[in-house]
């Protein structure tokens, strides 16, 4: 074809080794070959491979009126939804956020919409966002779509913990080079690695951000907490690291990424939020101004039934109690799978990145052909930056010993 149908800025676009495509391929193969092991899907599944539905979501759905399901939603969402999200996310730290900070919450189409809007609005075109070397690959798509790119630092130090020094070095260099620092940290229960940063790591990160802010450049921290509810801990014990925010300098903008997909298994509902936090009212006014505009300009508004479901649950004590009970069951499923994976890996002397929580365990590999090698053995995992990602969220216990045995052969 001789005509340029695609705009020149979009010529580069082609989804490669896309997670959703690989998952689809695994599902198709599973229909043909029942022995297929599908460890691709970042959705929580029961042992019988049914998706882990929250009964509380089903119950809340029955309480919604026609208007709460069918009408357009307000761009900014309802206050009861946004305040409910704030309370849930920050838990015991919520008073500190309300007292010490200005904040604004913008509903988005999933956490993805929140990240994509943040990448777009808080960088100049051509600039780079800083994140660790292992990252959820769609960040690259969000970045390129927003005319920005990614810069990375090695994620681990010599003790296999978060590499504060690596972060410091690259953060200062990037801030100097481009007169801005926008960094994304996906914590806790990192996708793809399963890392949970320590409180001391967060204290150091905040100190570094403050030092860079003191040099006069804008500093934006995007904190992706998609898996905050899957740290294999009780909800009340899992929010401690947010307390480190209190030391943030006045003009720093923190954007916390909330995902309704993960917290409620409401993957298809597409509900999330950007929670903008700063000690400066001016920063928050700017956050709200550009965020509102982008919601309207990019996807108009967010799923009305999705937001109302979450709103209904957060604002009903009985539902919150039920939700917490079901989250404990979900965490228990992950814990059992992670334990079996770790024990079996130990038996086979198969090394993996340290797992502390979340949907994934990852293993380093030098094998460039690993995806194809494993596919031949009817095993599907997601290849990423020098690692393979095993989704224990969708991996029944019975498949784990065989999976580990095959991984050992090819990693």
Q: Which residue number places its CB atom closest to ligand PLP?
A: 110
Q: Give CA–CA dist 390/408, Å, rounded.
A: 13
CA distances to 11, 50, 257 from 75, rounded to whole Å, are 32, 34, 17
Q: Pick between residue 114 and residue 290 the one whose CB is nearest to ligand PLP.
A: 114
Q: Does 111 bind ligand PLP (CB under 6 A)?
A: yes
Of the candidates 164, 163, 124, the residue with the CA atom closest to the CA atom of residue 146: 124
Q: Does 77 bind ligand PLP (CB under 6 A)?
A: no
* Residues from 256 through 285 that contact ligand PLP (CB under 6 A): 259, 261, 267, 272
Q: Pick between residue 18 and residue 178 the one whose CB is nearest to ligand PLP.
A: 18
**Cis omega (within 30 of 0) for bond into 403:** no
Stretch that binds ligand PLP, among 59-67, 110-118, 245-253, 309-317 (CB under 6 A): 110-118
Q: Does 244 bind ligand PLP (CB under 6 A)?
A: no
Strand ranges across the sheet with 102-108: 102-108, 272-278, 253-259, 219-224, 181-186, 128-132, 149-153
Q: Pick between residue 208 and residue 302 the one whose CB is nearest to ligand PLP.
A: 302
Stretch that binds ligand PLP, among 60-68, 73-81, 91-99, 106-114 (CB under 6 A): 106-114
Size of the site for ligand PLP (CB under 6 A): 13
Q: Does 362 bind ligand PLP (CB under 6 A)?
A: no
Q: Pick between residue 111 and residue 132 the one whose CB is nearest to ligand PLP.
A: 111
Minimum distance from residue 336 beta carbon to ligand PLP (Å): 21
Q: Does 112 bind ligand PLP (CB under 6 A)?
A: yes
- Residues with Cβ < 8 Å from 276, sequence gap 6 or more? 103, 104, 105, 106, 253, 254, 255, 283, 284, 287, 288, 291
Q: Pick between residue 196 and residue 406 the one whose CB is nearest to ligand PLP.
A: 196
Q: Give CA–CA dist 236/240, Å, rounded.
A: 9
Q: What are phi and psi of 365, to 5 degrees?
A: -150, 145
Stretch that binds ligand PLP, among 104-112, 245-253, 276-284, 365-373 (CB under 6 A): 104-112
Strands 149-153 and 360-364: unpaired
Assess contact for 223 and 254: CB atoms under 8 A. Answer: yes
* Residues from 215 through 234 that contact ligand PLP (CB under 6 A): 224, 226
Q: Does 23 bind ligand PLP (CB under 6 A)?
A: no
> How many Å is the Cα radius of gyration of the chain?
21
Per-residue buried b or exposed e for 110-121, using 16+ beta carbons within 10 Å of the residue's own CB = bbbbbbbbbbbb
Minimum distance from residue 156 beta carbon to ligand PLP (Å): 18
Minimum distance from residue 388 beta carbon to ligand PLP (Å): 16
* Residues from 115 through 154 that contact ligand PLP (CB under 6 A): 136
Binding marks (x or -) toward ligand PLP, 174..193, rule CB under 6 A?
A: ------------x----x--
> Per-residue DSSP letters for 69-105?
HHSPPPTT--HHHHHHHHHHHHGGGHHHHHHH-EEEE
Stretch that binds ligand PLP, among 109-117, 193-201, 241-249, 343-351 (CB under 6 A): 109-117
Q: Does 197 bind ligand PLP (CB under 6 A)?
A: no
Q: Does 42 bind ligand PLP (CB under 6 A)?
A: yes
**Cis omega (within 30 of 0) for bond into 192:** yes
Tokens encoding 170: 């690259």
* Residues from 43 through 62 that contact ligand PLP (CB under 6 A): none
Q: Give CA–CA dist 38/23, Å, rounded.
A: 8
Q: Pick between residue 43 and residue 320 the one whose CB is nearest to ligand PLP.
A: 43
Query: What is the H or E stretch that residue 42 is in?
Result: none
Binding site for ligand PLP (CB under 6 A): 42, 110-112, 136, 186, 191, 224, 226, 259, 261, 267, 272
């Amino acid at each position: 074809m001789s005509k340029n149908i695609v705009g020149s800025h979009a010529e580069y676009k082609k989804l490669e080794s896309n997670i959703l495509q690989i998952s689809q391929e695994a599902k198709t193969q599973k229909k043909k070959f029942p022995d297929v092991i599908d460890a691709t899907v970042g959705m929580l599944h029961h042992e019988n491979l049914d998706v882990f539905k929250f009964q509380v979501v089903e119950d809340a759905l029955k309480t919604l009126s026609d208007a709460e399901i069918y009408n357009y939603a307000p761009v900014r969402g309802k206050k009861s939804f946004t305040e409910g999200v704030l309370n849930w996310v920050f838990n015991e730290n919520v008073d500190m956020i309300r007292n010490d900070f200005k904040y604004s919450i913008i509903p988005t189409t999933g956490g993805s919409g929140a990240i994509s809007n943040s990448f777009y609005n808080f960088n100049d075109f051509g600039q780079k966002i800083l994140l660790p070397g292992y990252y959820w690959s769609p960040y690259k798509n969000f970045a390129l779509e927003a005319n920005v790119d990614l810069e990375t630092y090695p994620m681990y130090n010599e003790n296999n913990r978060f590499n504060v020094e690596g972060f410091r070095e690259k953060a200062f260099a990037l801030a100097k080079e481009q007169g801005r620092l926008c960094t994304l940290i996906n914590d806790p229960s990192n996708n793809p690695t399963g890392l949970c940063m320590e409180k001391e790591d967060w204290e150091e990160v905040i100190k570094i951000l403050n030092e860079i802010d003191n040099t006069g450049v804008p500093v934006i921290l995007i904190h992706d907490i998609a898996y905050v509810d899957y740290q294999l801990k009780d909800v009340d014990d899992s929010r401690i690291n947010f307390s480190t925010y209190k030391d943030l300098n006045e003009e720093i903008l923190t954007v916390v990424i909330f995902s309704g997909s993960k917290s409620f298994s409401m993957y298809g509902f597409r509900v999330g939020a950007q929670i903008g936090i700063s000690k400066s009212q001016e920063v928050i006014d700017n956050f709200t101004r550009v965020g509102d505009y982008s919601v309207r300009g990019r996807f108009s508004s967010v799923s009305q039934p999705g937001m109302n479901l979450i709103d209904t649950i957060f604002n009903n004590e009985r539902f919150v109690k039920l939700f917490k009970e079901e989250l404990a069951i979900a965490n228990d499923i992950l814990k059992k799978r992670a334990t079996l994976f770790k024990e079996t890996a130990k038996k086979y002397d198969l090394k993996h990145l340290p797992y502390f929580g979340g949907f994934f365990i990852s293993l380093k590999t030098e094998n460039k052909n690993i995806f194809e090698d494993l596919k031949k053995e009817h095993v599907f995992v997601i290849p990423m930056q020098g690692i393979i990602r095993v989704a224990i969220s969708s991996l029944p216990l019975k498949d784990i010993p065989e999976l580990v045995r095959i991984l050992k052969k090819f990693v």
